[in-house]
Every structure is written in structure tokens, then in C-alpha cells.
Amino acid sequence: MLEQLRRNRIVKFLVGGGLAAAFNLAAIAFLIEFVGWDTPLLRNIANVVQGKLI
């Protein structure tokens, strides 16, 4: 029982982390490609803004 609970927690952690990483990459790509933040300074700002969204 305890082993199954531990496996479920690990799976939830991996799925949640994977979804969060995918969202972060999509948000950065959106800000750079579609909003037009394509200078080095604006890319850094996109990374900061994206970090504050979560």
C-alpha cells in the first residue's frame, strides 16, 4: 500500500513537472515569436515575465 502511494506521488510529480516545463517553453516561444520580443534584452524580459506567470 505504501509503495503504491509512493509510486503515485512520483508519477504525479513527473507529470506535473513535465506539464510545467512544456508551458514554460510555450510561453517563452510565444513571447519571442508572436509578440516580437526578439532582441537579447527583450528575450531576457520574456524569461522574467514568464517566470512570474507561474
Domain boundaries of the chain, sorted by first residue = 21-54
* pLDDT for position 51: 73
pTM: 0.63
* pLDDT for position 19: 93
Q: What percent of the chain has pLDDT over 90?
A: 7
* pLDDT for position 32: 81
User: How far is it, in rounded angstroms, from Cα 6 to Cα 44?
Assistant: 38
Please say if the pLDDT value at position 11 is more than 80: yes
Inter-CA distances, 45 with 7, 14, 15, 29, 54, Å: 38, 28, 28, 13, 15
